[in-house]
């Protein structure tokens, strides 16, 4: 099993992807922060279906964490990540240091609007999408892929990145990949590792409630009533709810009528110290 090349400098990255492009290969990028789970591996499989060469970036991006958040404790599982990517025959792992990504004097930041100001994640993590948009723009300019894969679990992030690539004319197709779930429905996430056994047993309530609320809305219940019932169900299970919202699936604008076109139901809630997010199509 050939190990993927691990590249840590921008100059070496450019030489490698430059050679691929000269040989006529198209390239897919899977941006990650490591701590890879089956959801990430599905992004890699989809990338391989779309492109001749696949690069996976592993970079825990300090710019998207607020000072009180979990940057220091974010799970880091380098050896198992590399082994999993080797099994999938990824071509390259792009693993820059924070100093390579943000050298001394770094002073440019993207401040996304539109879906980044939808009043969902941004209302609770105001620094987050600026950090994500900045690092994703840098990753896209560094690797210059034709395709970049993002999980639908971070649905607002997917919309923000898609709008950013379009608005900045970055020539890449952003591909959203459906959420991978554990057998009991919990959306896969690197942060699930923080859950205690008791919390892990309760965590699938989030997905169950999303499904219940979606079926109430589809069967014609008033949106506000369905959301209030869903919120109580999640709170009864022990979560502190940040939001449970029905939104337009394209613009993320609030939706009041169950007869609206394509809709998405999105939730974020804290269970103990762990904040979980999830969403489903309605």
- Point out which residues bind ligand PAF (CB under 6 A): 31-33, 61, 64, 132, 135-136, 154, 157
Catalytic residue among 40, 68, 127, 260: 40
CB closer to ligand PAF out of 60 and 210: 60
The CB-of-59 to ligand PAF minimum distance in angstroms stands at 6
First and final C-alpha spacing in the chain: 42
E strand residue ranges, 91-235: 92-94, 147-151, 173-177
CB closer to ligand PAF out of 39 and 230: 39
Q: What is the largest CA-CA distance in the chain?
A: 58
CB closer to ligand PAF out of 20 and 155: 155
| 54, β-bridge pairs | 28
Count Cα atoms within 13 angstroms, Cβ side, for 271: 24
The CB-of-76 to ligand PAF minimum distance in angstroms stands at 13
CB closer to ligand PAF out of 156 and 209: 156
The CB-of-243 to ligand PAF minimum distance in angstroms stands at 19
Angle (CA) 274 99 276, round 5° = 10
CB closer to ligand PAF out of 61 and 279: 61
Alpha helices in 51-127, H assignment, sequence order: 78-87, 98-101, 121-124
The CB-of-95 to ligand PAF minimum distance in angstroms stands at 12
Q: Tell me how crowded residue 85 is: count the other CB atoms within 10 A of its CB.
A: 25
Catalytic annotation present for 260? no
The CB-of-238 to ligand PAF minimum distance in angstroms stands at 26
Tell me if 212 sits within 8 A of 238, measured CB to CB.
no
- CA dist 87 to 3, 17, 78, 80, 211, Å? 8, 21, 14, 11, 34
E strand residue ranges, 59-121: 92-94
Active-site residue set: 40
């Amino acid at each position: 099993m050939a190990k993927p090349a691990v590249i840590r400098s921008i100059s070496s990255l450019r030489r490698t992807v430059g050679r691929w492009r000269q040989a006529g290969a198209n390239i897919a990028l899977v941006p990650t922060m490591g701590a890879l789970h089956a959801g990430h591996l599905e992004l890699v499989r989809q990338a391989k279906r779309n492109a001749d060469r696949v690069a996976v970036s592993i970079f825990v991006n300090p710019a998207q964490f607020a000072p009180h958040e979990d940057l220091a404790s974010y799970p880091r599982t380098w050896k198992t990540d590399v082994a999993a990517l080797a099994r999938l025959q990824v071509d390259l792992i792009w693993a820059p240091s924070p100093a390579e990504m943000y050298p001394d004097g770094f002073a440019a930041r993207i401040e996304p609007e539109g879906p980044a100001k939808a009043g969902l994640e941004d209302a609770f993590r105001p620094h987050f999408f600026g950090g994500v948009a900045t690092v994703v723009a840098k990753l896209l300019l560094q690797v210059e892929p034709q395709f970049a894969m993002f999980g639908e679990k971070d649905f607002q992030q997917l919309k923000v990145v898609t709008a950013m690539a379009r608005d900045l004319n970055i020539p890449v197709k952003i591909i959203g990949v459906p959420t991978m779930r554990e057998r009991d429905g919990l959306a896969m996430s690197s942060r699930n590792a923080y859950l205690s056994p008791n919390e892990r047993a309760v965590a699938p309530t989030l997905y169950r409630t999303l499904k219940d609320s979606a079926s109430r809305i589809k069967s014609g219940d008033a949106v506000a009533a369905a959301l209030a019932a869903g919120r109580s169900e999640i709170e009864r299970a022990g979560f502190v709810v940040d939001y449970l919202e029905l939104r337009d699936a394209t613009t993320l604008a609030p939706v009041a009528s169950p007869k609206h076109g394509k809709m998405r139901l999105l939730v974020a809630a804290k269970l103990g110290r762990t904040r979980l997010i999830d969403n489903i199509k309605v």
